[in-house]
Structure 1
């Protein structure tokens, strides 16, 4: 794989955030958002190209799993939790 660009990594990050937000369940949504932010922060200082390629490849696989799970999540409805903000008519 050729060298990764910042744009590719940011695009991957945005896809993770977008798919995490697709979860209907509040707890799953927030878990995947936290997990995504933490793993990208954890690896932001990696400079070794080989390690970056490995991380990118693994992230693509994880993104596929996240996409499938978010689709499954959309098939089921969940009751709102107390901590979830309610949408009002004015929003």
Structure 2
């Protein structure tokens, strides 16, 4: 996988994580974004092609998990809490 493709994967993961919008899951959203950034920084030094491929496969698997979490959150969305209305204003 080329650097632009890895960057695209990184951006996709961040974009999907930001779709987790429920107030109750905001800490999960922040954790996911932090772990994505940390994971890509840690793996930046990998030079062995096999290790790089394993890291990319894990990231793609994690992206699928994030996408499922977003879908589940949308399926079971609840009314906004009072605090959510005040946070956006």
* Fold shared by both chains (TM-score > 0.5): yes
Runs of 4+ aligned structure 1 residues displaced above 4 Å come to none
Question: Is 1:5 aligned to 2:17, yes or no?
Answer: no
* Partner SS for 2:87: coil
TM-score, normalising length: structure 2: 0.81
Q: Aligned partners of 1:70, 1:27: CA distance in 2, in Å? A: 14
Q: How far off is 1:81 after superposition?
A: 5.5
Q: How far off is 1:74 after superposition?
A: 2.2
Between Structure 1 and Structure 2, which shows a larger proportion of helix residues? 2
Q: How far off is 1:72 after superposition?
A: 0.9
Unaligned runs of 5+ in 2: none
Q: Deviations over 1:40-60 (max 9, x none)?
A: 111111111111111111211
Indicate the residue corresponding to 1:73 in structure 2: 73
TM-score, normalising length: structure 1: 0.79
Q: Deviations over 1:30-89 (max 9, x none)?
A: 11111111111111111111111111112111111110011111231353658xx8223x
Unaligned runs of 5+ in 1: none
Indicate the residue corresponding to 2:46 in structure 1: 46
Q: CA RMSD in A?
A: 2.0
Query: Contact 1:22–1:74 (CA<8 Å) still a contact in 2?
Result: no
